[in-house]
């Protein structure tokens, strides 16, 4: 990564990303966040510079962005923030923690984030702006769509498809060959043994739909 980066958002996900980026000796210009009370606050030595308008002071050819808006449910706001800046020509850098294991043929989309201890096996693809969070495991030949959050400790077996903007909660498991649609929510700890349609929310063991 040759260009300096700006971090969007100053919360918990930002802290984890900044740690990963500093490990990789990235040059971080600062953080932007809409909360004015955070201006000047530092996260792991990186200061909050102001709101999102600060990004516009840097030409899009001279800076890379990192989307640090995480999610604890459907990643809609995270997608909106990504689309807003991508739409005006900014590029999002991929972040891969050095302790992650990513097979050599895995394709990571723009702005994908692979956190510490995650494993992504051969033949898998990860969409743009998606998070494979701490110690999550994505086995062989999985297709993870755009703007997906695979939360910490999730286990996804081989040949699984996860549609765009879905959220797989902490510690959930998905057996082999399952298809999860777009905009789905899998609650923490669920065990998914059947396909899930677009927009469905499931929880429990085995996972069943809830309102
Ligand atoms: O439009 C925005 C915006 N909206 C909220 N632009 C920018 N630049 N920042 C935005 N934010 C800021 O994101 C909020 O003001 C807040 O400072 C930050 C979100 O912080 P929070 O700690 O609430 O959540 P997070 O997204 O960093 O982390 C969640 O998701 C992670 C994946 C947490 O639940 C974590 O526990 C989780 N690991």
Q: What per-residue confidence (pLDDT) applies to 2? A: 77
Q: Do 182 and 135 share a structural domain?
A: yes
Instruction: Note whether residue 88 is domain-resident.
Output: no
Tens-level pLDDT at each residue, the chain (211 residues) = 679 999 999 999 999 999 999 999 999 999 999 999 999 999 999 999 999 999 999 999 999 999 999 999 999 999 999 999 999 999 999 999 999 999 999 999 999 999 999 999 999 999 999 999 999 999 999 999 999 999 999 999 999 999 999 999 999 999 999 999 999 999 999 999 999 999 999 999 999 999 9
Please state, for a pLDDT cut of 90, what percent of the chain lies above it. Answer: 99
Q: Which of 142, 166, 167, 137 is nearest to 154 (CA)?
A: 137
Q: Return the best residue to mutate from 6, 7, 9, 135 for the ligand 1 pocket (most ligand atoms within 8 A of CB).
A: 9
Please report, for the domain that includes residue 129, its CATH number. Answer: 2.160.10.10
Q: Do 108 and 145 share a structural domain?
A: yes
Q: Do 192 and 122 share a structural domain?
A: yes
Q: What per-residue confidence (pLDDT) applies to 1? A: 65
Counting atoms of ligand 1 from 1, which one is nearest the CA of 152?
38
Residue list, ligand 1 pocket, CB within 6 Å: 8-14, 32-35, 52, 69-72, 81
Q: Do 55 and 110 share a structural domain?
A: no
Instruction: Note whether residue 11 is domain-resident.
Output: yes
Tally the domains of the chain: 2
Q: Do 103 and 147 share a structural domain?
A: yes
> Which domain, by its residues, includes 173?
94-200
Please report, for the domain that includes residue 26, its CATH number. Answer: 3.40.50.20
Task: Quote the ligand 1 centre to 33 CA distance (angstroms).
Answer: 9
Instruction: Note whether residue 207 is domain-resident.
Output: no
Task: Quote the ligand 1 centre to 140 CA distance (angstroms).
Answer: 31
Q: What per-residue confidence (pLDDT) applies to 184? A: 98
pLDDT tens-place string over residues 176-211 = 999 999 999 999 999 999 999 999 999 999 999 999
pTM of the model: 0.98
pLDDT tens-place string over residues 140-149 = 999 999 999 9
User: Residue 116, class by beta-carbon neighbours within 10 Å (0-12 exposed, 13-18 middle, 19+ buried)?
Assistant: middle
Question: Residue 140 catalytic?
Answer: yes
Q: What per-residue confidence (pLDDT) applies to 116? A: 98
Task: Quote the ligand 1 centre to 182 CA distance (angstroms).
Answer: 22
End-to-end CA distance of the chain: 44
């Amino acid at each position: 990564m040759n260009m300096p980066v700006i971090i969007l958002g100053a919360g918990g996900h930002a802290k984890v990303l900044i740690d990963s980026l500093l490990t990789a000796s990235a040059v971080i210009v600062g953080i932007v966040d809409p909360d004015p009370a955070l201006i000047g606050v530092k996260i792991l030595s990186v200061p909050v510079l102001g709101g999102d308008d600060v990004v516009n002071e840097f030409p899009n050819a001279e800076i890379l962005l990192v989307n640090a808006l995480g999610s604890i449910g459907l990643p809609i706001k995270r997608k909106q923030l990504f689309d807003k800046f991508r739409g005006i020509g900014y590029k999002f850098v991929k972040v891969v923690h050095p302790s992650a294991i990513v097979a050599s043929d895995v394709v990571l989309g723009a702005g994908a984030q692979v956190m510490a201890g995650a494993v992504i096996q051969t033949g898998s693809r990860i969409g743009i702006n998606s998070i494979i969070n701490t110690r999550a495991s994505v086995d062989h030949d999985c297709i993870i769509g755009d703007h997906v959050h695979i939360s910490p400790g999730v286990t996804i077996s081989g040949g699984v498809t996860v549609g765009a903007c879905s959220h797989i909660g902490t510690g959930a498991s998905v057996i082999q060959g399952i298809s999860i649609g777009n905009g789905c929510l899998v609650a923490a700890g669920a065990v998914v043994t059947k396909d899930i349609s677009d927009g469905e929310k499931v929880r429990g063991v085995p996972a069943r739909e809830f309102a």
